[in-house]
A and B are shown apart, each in its own frame.
Chain A
Amino acid sequence: MFSPSDILTIPLADWVNSFVRDWLVPNFRPFFRSLQWPITQVLNGLDGFLNAVPMIAFTLVLALIAWRTAGRGVAIFTLIALAFIDMIGLWPETMTTLSMVVTAVLFCTVIGIPIGIAAASSNRFQTVLRPILDIMQTIPSFVYLVPIVMLFGVGMVPGIIATIIFALPPIVRLTNLGIRNVRGDLVEAAQSFGSTRWQMLWDVQFPLALRTIMAGLNQTLMLALSMVVIAALIGAGGLGLTVFTGLGRLDVGNATAGGVGIVLLAIILDRITQSLGEPARMRKTSLRATLATLFSPKRSGRDGEA
């Protein structure tokens, strides 16, 4: 049978190899190494801090945060889940994973929100950006693990860099979406009073887009957590490593324990960040008041509460 490869074969793998190995790595390795510096600083600080804080203190503080943001149910869940993690002996690993995830999400936010804002203000930029984000989200993460190792070596920080690449798209997309979806007449109103672009962004667009941006942050966080195991492949520790070594040794028990730890952490962080997206004053309204407004002719949450 005839096939196109009889006439022409494209040595794509060789090209990529020579691009990465012979050009990118030798020329840019110092540059990429220098990118690691801020990540290393944040990670070390955070990791040191989280591992130094006594388990009880950390649990109480996180439960308190959960209670203030997401309500009593989530707070109780947090207490139980963290106690459980401690009891199955995975506390240090959990803290390492948490510091990794938080570092990655922090950098995603710092990088992603400005990119999202820029995309919202320029259609051309958005057009260029969209396929890049698509690629970042669809390309299997194993594909970029190799170049990352070549450029950054192995360890926690390269793991975090892989996580950042993987988890960045949602926050960029949803920042862009949130800002574009701010009601046109509100933008016009701000403009009509003579706002500068910065004033408009800060006072009107960003606060109104915050809900959507928070949804993006939540998704980014979840993606970052899902990278924990893969990042362990290139030397990142934590719960991912527990799962990974468990798999390698066919130690189902340890793999499951690590997995459970990841899931519990994911649930806690998911609930807390989800509720951050809701505007504070709406959360305070009780269920009864909300229902009451549906039946009273005057649309007023205040009266319902009285």
Chain B
Amino acid sequence: MHEPFRYCRVERSLLPNETKIKVEARSIFKVFGTSPHDALQLLKQGKSKDAIFEATGDTIGVQDASFKVGEGQIFVVMGLSGSGKSTLVRMINGLIAPTSGKMLIDDTDVANCSGKALRAVRRSKIAMVFQHFALFPHMTVADNVAYGLKVKGVGADQRRKKAEAALDQVGLKAHADSYPDELSGGMQQRVGLARGLASEAEILLMDEPFSALDPLIRRDMQEELLELQRSLKKTIIFITHDLNEAMILGDRIAIMKDGRFVQVGTAEEIVDNPANDYVAAFTADIDRSRVFTAASVATAAEALEIGRDTAESAIARMEALGRDALYVIDGKAILGAVAYRDLAASIRDNGGALREAIITDFPKARRTTPLFELYPLAEGGLPIAIIDRQGKLAGVVAPQDVFGKLATPTAA
């Protein structure tokens, strides 16, 4: 069975400054045709892709794409058919040479390097997973997976061992000696993924890897990729034409149209703040409760200390903050929540003891829990405790905020 489907990753890292940049594109252009430099000239004069095609017969594949992808990130490029996604991703490993611009892999500019240097980058740093799997039909699954190692000159025993390890990661070890056409589409793409993993490249390029699969298998594969990514921490550039998929997988998402980046940001930024009508049209059908996480509505915990606070001081804090309930902690441990109503009653009836009023059965969530999973938690009326990895209280979510976030911004 499937777990509830979620758009967000368990660990969503933004691009902190200290992250190492693995892939960086600097103003990349690609023109297909006979007179690319004339076409570039026209482009700089502000002519559109269609106008340039009419004038010169050249097709603008990608125009002025710049981006940085940090180590361990998943960068998703999303766009409709013909928007230039494949062209872009093929320029990252030099299968297509850009017309102008720089494409830096670590410090190597693959846009302007010799065949030998390019091969070295491909062998050691970048692996690619293809839309239609592109498995070699004449090789066994294990040989397919080991292909990258074979190219590098790794010996047969070593290759076999690594191929089996990679197949194990995708759950296909038992099929090592099958041929690709004996496997289902989903299994074939797992082999494709294993082939990418076995080469030990740090960067994985994935060009619509799941779009040839049927929806159910596709979901499995997305989950599996995230699962793998948690331990592998590859730098992934993932192409898709499906915004849902982009939202599920992407740490950051670039939306492409006519070869140009229309917007780059996190799923939340894009849904919350679409750059233009084009993006807004995509995001309109997105289920916001799956995009936004508890973190987007969390506020400071303002917790009470059991040793320091009393029923009276708690009441005073609540009044000052305008809240009906607060959490009580003992150092790092969370004892539970106290409600204004209970404290007031206890003060009236028996002089008030903070400890007695604590409700220990309180709703908890992680920062990354999607909003739709907070619905049942919010029903109890208590603020939801956001707990970090060490089990400490990292914030709270007021029940009314959970639903408030779901209203679409007016300018949709």
Footprint of B on A, CB under 8 Å? 183, 185-186, 188-196, 199, 203-204, 207-208, 279, 281, 298-302
Contacts and interface: CB of A to CB of B under 8 A. Distances in A.
B151 A189 contact: no
A193 B148 contact: yes
A186 B134 contact: yes
Given A189-B134, A299-B184, A194 B179 contact: no
State the main secondary structure of chain B at its contact with A: mixed
B184 A279 contact: no
Interface in B103-148: 118-124, 126-128, 130-132, 134-138, 147-148
Contacts, number: 73
State the main secondary structure of chain A at its contact with B: helix
Contact of B151 (A185, A186, A199, A281): A199
28 contacts: A185-B130, A185-B134, A186-B136, A189-B130, A189-B136, A190-B151, A191-B122, A192-B93, A192-B127, A192-B128, A193-B122, A193-B123, A193-B128, A194-B118, A194-B120, A194-B121, A194-B152, A195-B151, A196-B119, A199-B151, A203-B136, A204-B136, A298-B184, A299-B184, A300-B182, A300-B183, A301-B182, A302-B178
B181 interface: yes
A188 B182 contact: no
Nearest to A191: B95
A193 B127 contact: yes
Given A185-B130, A188-B130, A298-B184, A193 B178 contact: no
Nearest to A301: B182
A185 B150 CA distance: 19
Contacts of B183: 300
Contacts of B289: none
Kindly list the 5 A-B residue pairs having the minimum CB-CB distance in the complex, ordered from nearest. A194-B122, A194-B123, A189-B134, A185-B134, A192-B128
Given A185-B130, A186-B134, A204-B136, A194 B119 contact: yes
Contact of A302 (B93, B120, B130, B182): B182
B199 interface: yes
Given A193-B128, A207-B138, 15 more contacts: A183-B134, A186-B136, A188-B134, A190-B151, A192-B127, A192-B128, A193-B127, A193-B151, A194-B120, A194-B123, A196-B151, A298-B184, A299-B182, A299-B184, A300-B182
Contacts of B181: 299, 301
A194 B152 CA distance: 8
A195 B138 CA distance: 17
A189 B182 contact: no
Interface residues of B, number: 34
Given A193-B151, A207-B138, A185 B132 contact: yes
B89 to A, nearest CB: 10
Nearest to A207: B138
A301 B181 CA distance: 9
Given A188-B134, A193-B122, A193-B127, A281 B179 contact: yes
Contacts of B138: 207-208, 279
Contact of A192 (B120, B126, B136): B126
B213 to A, nearest CB: 14
Interface in B148-164: 148, 150-152
A190 B122 CA distance: 10
B116 to A, nearest CB: 9
A40 B151 CA distance: 40
A194 B151 contact: yes
A195 B153 CA distance: 10
A299 B182 CA distance: 6
A302 B175 CA distance: 12
A219 B391 CA distance: 75
Contacts of B93: 192
A204 B137 CA distance: 9
A196 B116 CA distance: 9
A279 B134 CA distance: 19
A186 B95 CA distance: 13
Nearest to A189: B134
Nearest to A300: B182
Contacts of B128: 188-189, 192-193
Interface string B192-217: 00000001000001000000000000
B222 to A, nearest CB: 22
Nearest to A186: B134
